[in-house]
Amino acid sequence: MEASREGAPGVRLAARIKGLAGSEIRERMKDLAKREIIHLGGGLPDPAFFPVEPIARACAAIFADPTAARTALQYAPSEGHPPLREWLAGYMASLGVPCTPANILITNGSQQGLDLIAKLLIDPGAPVMIELPSFIGALRAFDVMEPRYVGLSADLTATGIRERPRFAYLGPDFRNPTGTSLTLAERHALLDLSDALAMPLVEDGCYEKLRYDGEDLPSLLALDCARKGGIEQSRLLYTGTFSKTLAPSLRVGWIAAASPLIARLVLLKQAADLATSALNQMIALALADGILDSAVAQVRGVYRGRRDAMLAALADHMPAGVQWTEPEGGLYIWLTLPEGMDGGELARRALIEHGVATISGAAFYPIEARPNTLRLSFSMVPEEAAREAVRRLGLLVEDMMGVPAHG
Amino acid sequence: MEASREGAPGVRLAARIKGLAGSEIRERMKDLAKREIIHLGGGLPDPAFFPVEPIARACAAIFADPTAARTALQYAPSEGHPPLREWLAGYMASLGVPCTPANILITNGSQQGLDLIAKLLIDPGAPVMIELPSFIGALRAFDVMEPRYVGLSADLTATGIRERPRFAYLGPDFRNPTGTSLTLAERHALLDLSDALAMPLVEDGCYEKLRYDGEDLPSLLALDCARKGGIEQSRLLYTGTFSKTLAPSLRVGWIAAASPLIARLVLLKQAADLATSALNQMIALALADGILDSAVAQVRGVYRGRRDAMLAALADHMPAGVQWTEPEGGLYIWLTLPEGMDGGELARRALIEHGVATISGAAFYPIEARPNTLRLSFSMVPEEAAREAVRRLGLLVEDMMGVPAHG
């Protein structure tokens, strides 16, 4: 593609387009067609564990009932299919967030939630606080509204903050890309920071259900509801999705927040694409009401085993000086190479020379990039392939470090 | 809903939120639950004619094939399911727009196409040219990017234009809300204007297939491709959808444009919601490849009869001084009341006193509103109900005009 500012002869593009970049991950996903590659790149759920039969049965049941079929194919309300909003209000309550359907907006996956929240809260040039590194999809959604990023300080305080950020974006559980989680004390510190600055938090809850070890921790929104007496008193916006627990192409997610925020987000949803597919919402509801718990239990078991295999392989094959996270859930392990090494170079050589797809860590930093990092996703590869991929990566790292290979 | 700028305690909203309004149409759609109302309001396709059986069969076939099922439930490429892009390239070629899949982006209905085009082309405060009146959904999508609207002059020339608009938005066929179409000469005049100003046109093709009388006219994009030698030389962006021909809740539409524009729009699509549901795209493809032509022929027959019934009822029941359009296709008839009458008042009284839902015309004018107008949609009501609704409207108009009722 030609890199000029002009999209076609004589077409002037909006200023916001200048900063747009593609997602390295999405680009790498195109490699999926190439079978010989071992994919530690995209954070995709493994399609081998999609609940195909229950979804097929849900579809058949919808189309067998003429009233349901017409509802499924007609425009849904912009705020969402009412029974699914109702179900999600109960689900959020079960996670410690007492709420009503007026606190829920259905979105096309949690990615659309981030697009709508960016429109709601970001003026061009306004500061937005992010963890470093941060989920690329969130950054891409925010970028379109042209924020100025500021990094969340490691001590979670407001030290050095001169202007109140419009919000801070956080992934409390097994977050993309590092796999790390916030402790309970850190969650409380963030709520203190939010209160001190009167700053909303945007909580990405998409991995909340994918815990493999340890105990569930309450979401930031649940803790804030307990502090404030209810969701209507909270400044937090929570995004959730069925993409990681049921299947991504249902494209059904949600935002939970105080009802005046949801009311504005509904207008933005209407402007964005009128409504999420009623058919997809009805399928999601049928599964949520039925097999969600067993589907979650199944993928937890699979991904726990894959995580363990990859952690064991890293211990076996990575030379001294390389560090990695040990996530309690989610889909990702984050590698930190010795200072001075280039994760981008490692990712390129791993793909081209060794048939292993990964994502260089620098892509996850819009500011203050640490190029000696790499993200590995363990969701898509069976344990044997993961061990082989990590063995190849270990040899390549040794080669790049100038360490003699140990066989 | 509370009207303050603050969405919840302490939450500062982006400046763009100030101007946001709900769509009167979408609000009125909530009336659908009330069975006693006769609905001439929303421009919804009649669900009685959705191709339920073919869609059910397409779903069953997808889920019966393990490979297809996994593809249908996994993330699709942001640009769209490749075989559907391929099909749409052929379809656009059949409409006189020779193109390749690189000229097609799949969107969630044509509404999302308008959201993405607004992000691509509108800077805050930049002029955007629109027909008056214009489709509310387009205005809502554009509003989020904060343009300044300028009206397209009736003679389709650049007279009085001081600053080049970022684009002009047009519905050439049976457009929402008036039901009127551009003649071939007007289409050429618009392309002349586009060339004179080096101004892109955004062509809303969503009603193109719903013609009931007269001969098909080429789209603006088809005419421009013929003028320029190909889509890569064109500044036009075309939005299409299956919402009016198959079913809205497939949420499958597309943009056709020069490939450098599509490449940027793909990045915006990725940021907006990653991808349209693969399942929905595969269903749309199965139907497009199969029963699209017969589905279109069926709804054309139904809507032609409903249009004829409503036009006949208007001739029978409307007092002198009321004018209306006689559309050759689409879903809408546009009423112009005598100067000084208020279409908003008529719509309110029609709904409350007479159980007839309509949309006041003023909602379709972001500038230079003509309040003595009203939109009637004939798609959702059987002929007998349409006659009854128009009879009631006629009596109400006579009452408001102070004309003695003739019966």
pTM comes to: 0.94
Each residue of B356-397: pLDDT tens digit? 999 999 999 999 999 999 999 999 999 999 999 999 999 999
HSE-up (13 A, CA, CB side) for residue A398: 17
Interface test with A, best of B244, B250, B251 (most A CBs within 10 A): B251
Query: pLDDT band at residue A23, thresholds of 50, 70 and 90?
Result: low
Question: Any idea which of A6-10, A273-277, B164-168, B263-267 has the lowest mean pLDDT?
Answer: A6-10
- CB contact (8 A) between residue A14 and residue B144: no
**Nearest residue to A20 via CA among B254, B80, B272:** B272
B17, B273, B280: residue with CB nearest A120: B17
Judged against a pLDDT cut of 70, whether residue B210 lies above it is answered with yes
Each residue of B323-345: pLDDT tens digit? 999 999 999 999 999 999 999 99
Q: Do the Cβ atoms of B220 and B189 come closer than 8 Å?
A: no
Tell me the β-bridge partners of A329. Answer: A211
Q: pLDDT exceeding 90 applies to what percent of chain A?
A: 86
Query: pLDDT band at residue A154, thresholds of 50, 70 and 90?
Result: confident
Q: Higher-confidence residue: B299 or B6?
A: B299
Judged against a pLDDT cut of 60, whether residue B4 lies above it is answered with no
Given this model, what pLDDT does residue B154 score? 82
How many angstroms away from the CA of B397 is the closest CA of chain A? 31
Q: Please, what's the largest Cα pairwise distance for chain B? A: 69
CA B114, B72, A388, A134 dihedral sign is positive
Question: Any idea which of A9-23, A244-258, B244-258 has the lowest mean pLDDT?
Answer: A9-23
B55, B109, B271: residue with CB nearest A140: B271
Window B:354-383, CB contacts with A under 8 Å: none
**Nearest residue to B359 via CA among B344, B380, B378:** B344
Judged against a pLDDT cut of 50, whether residue A4 lies above it is answered with no
Given this model, what pLDDT does residue A153 score? 87
Given this model, what pLDDT does residue B160 score? 78
- Secondary structure of A312-342 as H, E, C letters: HHHHHHCCCCCEECCCCECCEEEEECCCCCC
Tell me the β-bridge partners of B334. Answer: B375
Judged against a pLDDT cut of 60, whether residue B33 lies above it is answered with no
| CA–CA gap between residue B109 and residue A23 (Å, rounded) | 24
Q: Do the Cβ atoms of A204 and A194 come closer than 8 Å?
A: no
Q: Do the Cβ atoms of A73 and B248 come closer than 8 Å?
A: yes
Query: pLDDT band at residue B24, thresholds of 50, 70 and 90?
Result: low
The total of other beta-carbon atoms located within 10 Å of residue A36's CB is: 6
Q: pLDDT exceeding 70 applies to what percent of chain A?
A: 93
A70, A235, A277: residue with CB nearest B8: A235
Q: Higher-confidence residue: A213 or A36?
A: A213
Query: pLDDT band at residue B8, thresholds of 50, 70 and 90?
Result: low
Mean pLDDT over residues B212-219, rounded?
96
User: Measured between beta carbons, which residues in chain B are less than 8 angstroms from residue A123?
Assistant: 14-16
- What's the distance, CA B130 to chain centroid? 14
End-to-end CA distance of chain B: 42
B231 in contact with A, Cβ within 8 Å: no
- CB contact (8 A) between residue B235 and residue A70: no
In this structure, what token pair is assigned to residue B400? 């408001």
How many angstroms away from the CA of A252 is the closest CA of chain B? 9
- CB contact (8 A) between residue A63 and residue B59: yes
- CB contact (8 A) between residue B52 and residue A69: yes
User: Measured between beta carbons, which residues in chain A are less than 8 angstroms from residue B71?
Assistant: 47
Given this model, what pLDDT does residue B207 score? 93
Q: Please, what's the largest Cα pairwise distance for chain A? A: 69
Given this model, what pLDDT does residue B27 score? 57
Each residue of A78-102: pLDDT tens digit? 999 999 999 999 999 999 999 999 9
Given this model, what pLDDT does residue B1 score? 35
B29 in contact with A, Cβ within 8 Å: yes
Average pLDDT, chain A: 92
- CB contact (8 A) between residue A249 and residue B73: yes
Contacts of B237 (CB under 8 A, 6+ apart): B117, B167, B200, B201, B202, B203, B255, B256, B257, B261
Mean pLDDT over residues A62-77, rounded?
97
Contacts of A256 (CB under 8 A, 6+ apart): A88, A92, A97, A99, A103, A104, A221, A231, A237, A238, A240
Q: Which residue has the tokens 């996956």?
A: A109
B12, B60, B109: residue with CB nearest A273: B109
Average pLDDT, chain B: 92
Judged against a pLDDT cut of 80, whether residue B136 lies above it is answered with yes
User: Measured between beta carbons, which residues in chain A are less than 8 angstroms from residue B107?
Assistant: 273
Q: Do the Cβ atoms of B221 and B234 come closer than 8 Å?
A: yes
Q: Which residue has the tokens 């203050």?
A: A368
Judged against a pLDDT cut of 90, whether residue A31 lies above it is answered with no
B67 in contact with A, Cβ within 8 Å: no
B74, B267, B274: residue with CB nearest A137: B274
Judged against a pLDDT cut of 70, whether residue B9 lies above it is answered with no
Judged against a pLDDT cut of 70, whether residue B407 lies above it is answered with no
Q: Which amino acid is present at B75?
A: Y
How many angstroms away from the CA of A101 is the closest CA of chain B? 15
Mean pLDDT over residues B110-135, rounded?
97
Query: pLDDT band at residue A406, thresholds of 50, 70 and 90?
Result: low
B34 in contact with A, Cβ within 8 Å: no
| CA–CA gap between residue A80 and residue A64 (Å, rounded) | 22
The DSSP 8-state label assigned to residue B125 in this structure reads T
**Nearest residue to B264 via CA among A237, A101, A20, A57:** A20
Judged against a pLDDT cut of 70, whether residue B31 lies above it is answered with no
Window A:269-288, CB contacts with B under 8 Å: 270-280
Tell me the β-bridge partners of A16. Answer: none
In this structure, what token pair is assigned to residue B7? 């969405």
Each residue of A342-397: pLDDT tens digit? 999 999 999 999 999 999 999 999 999 999 999 999 999 999 999 999 999 999 99
Q: How many CB pairs (< 8 A) connect A and B?
A: 295
How many angstroms away from the CA of B111 is the closest CA of chain A? 5
User: Measured between beta carbons, which residues in chain A are less than 8 angstroms from residue B145?
Assistant: 14
- CB contact (8 A) between residue B140 and residue A271: yes
A74, A119, A124: residue with CB nearest B47: A74
B44 in contact with A, Cβ within 8 Å: yes
Judged against a pLDDT cut of 60, whether residue B6 lies above it is answered with no
- CB contact (8 A) between residue B20 and residue A264: yes
A158 in contact with B, Cβ within 8 Å: no
**Torsion angle of the four alpha carbons A89, A90, A91, A95, in this order, in degrees rounded to the nearest 10:** 100
Q: Higher-confidence residue: A4 or A80?
A: A80
| CA–CA gap between residue A272 and residue A267 (Å, rounded) | 9
User: Measured between beta carbons, which residues in chain A are less than 8 angstroms from residue B248?
Assistant: 73-75, 274
Mean pLDDT over residues B270-294, rounded?
96
A124 — alpha (psi -120 to 50), left (phi > 0) or beta? beta
Each residue of A201-250: pLDDT tens digit? 999 999 999 999 999 999 999 999 999 999 999 999 999 999 999 999 99
